[in-house]
Every structure is written in C-alpha cells, then in structure tokens.
Amino acid sequence: MKKVKHELEAYINNDSEILILGSMPSVKSRELGFYYAHPQNKFWKVLSKVYNEEEPKTIEDKKIFLNKHKIALYDVIKECEINGSSDSSIKNIKVNDIKKLIKNTNITKIFTTGKKANQLYKKYCYKDVLIEGIYLPSTSPANVGYCSFDELVNVYKNNLL
C-alpha cells in the first residue's frame, strides 16, 4: 500500500460544459503526466469514436480535442493509499474540491468513469456540487469483461451526446 497524492492539474477551461471524473490517475498516467495515458486504456479511442474523429495521440492533441468538445478532466481523489492502479485497494481517501473546481465554468454535466469514482463522487462530492454524477463504465485495461469496445462506445455516446 502506497500513499499517493494527485499530481495532475485538472484539465478544465471556463467554457467547459462536461466534467469527466475518474477515481485516481493510474501509475502510467502519473508517469506520463496526463489523463488516461496507459496505452491499453480505451478512453481516447472511445471518445474519438463518439465524436467521429481521429484518436488524439499527443497530450497537445488530446487538449485540443477536449477544448473542441468542451470537456474537462479530473479525478475525485486528491490523496489516498493505493496498490498500483487498483481502485479496489483504495483506502484513507481525501477528495478534491469539485465545487470549487467548476465554480467559474459552464459545467452542467458530470460523468464518473468506473464504479469507484461514481461511489466516491456520490458519497463525498454530490452534496456540495448538486449535479448528479452519471456513471460511465471504466475504460481501463483492468475492466475486462464488462462490455465490448462497441458497447463502451454506445454507452458513452448515449450519455455524452
């Protein structure tokens, strides 16, 4: 069990309308310095299919993509104890101030990727933010068997668009 602090800046702009929250960046995302950076994570593949665009590869391309679609990215957890990138091992949680984060934005929709992010948002953040967190299945390579790539795309499309 390792104590980990969230080191990635929230990716958000004043004109952001959608906030997508994970639980805590994976080891690979923390190493590479941006969200959903593990090469086997399907997040960017799924979003590119949802918006019918080429998959962004570089961090700069990902930021351009997010800006174009008015999407912000962040995580529920500010600090925790965790084994590797395993959501099921998370303990001793401190959460990010989501209300403060979105204060001067146009965010009207909040999505949580994965069960842990959804559970923690409901428990710790919703009462302050008062925007329902809409659950989306995790795109993590650890989330095998939940649904196929096409099913992931359909769930994201039905919620984001």
What is the reported pLDDT for 86?
Answer: 87
Contact 4, 82 (CB under 8 A): yes
Whole-angstrom Cα distance, residue 121 to residue 127?
9
Percent with pLDDT over 70 in the chain? 98
Helix, strand, or coil (residue 8): coil
Mean pLDDT value across residues 15-34: 96
Task: List the beta bridge partners of residue 80.
Answer: 4
Q: Where residue 148 falls among pLDDT bands split at 50, 70, 90? A: confident
pLDDT digits (tens, 9 = 90+) for 60-93: 999 999 999 999 999 999 999 999 888 889 999 9
Whole-angstrom Cα distance, residue 36 to residue 38?
6
pLDDT of 140 higher than 90: no
Query: Checking phi first, is residue 2 left (phi over 0); if not, alpha (psi -120 to 50) or beta?
Result: beta
Mean pLDDT value across residues 4-11: 95
**pTM for the model:** 0.96
Whole-angstrom Cα distance, residue 141 to residue 10?
22
pLDDT of 22 higher than 80: yes
What is the reported pLDDT for 30?
Answer: 93
Instruction: Tell me the residue length of the chain.
Output: 161
Instruction: Tell me the helix, strand and coil percentages in the chain, rounded to 5.
Output: 35, 20, 40
Q: Which residues contact 153 (CB under 8 A, 6 or more apart)?
A: 46, 49, 50
Q: Which residues contact 80 (CB under 8 A, 6 or more apart)?
A: 3, 4, 24, 90, 91, 92, 93, 94
Domains, the chain, in order of start with CATH, read: 2-160 (3.40.470.10)
Average pLDDT, the chain: 94
pLDDT digits (tens, 9 = 90+) for 84-123: 888 889 999 999 999 999 999 999 999 999 999 999 999 9
What is the reported pLDDT for 127?
Answer: 97
Q: How many helices (H) and strands (E) does the chain have?
A: 7, 7
Task: List the beta bridge partners of residue 22.
Answer: 75
What is the reported pLDDT for 143?
Answer: 67
What is the reported pLDDT for 104?
Answer: 93
pLDDT of 155 higher than 90: yes
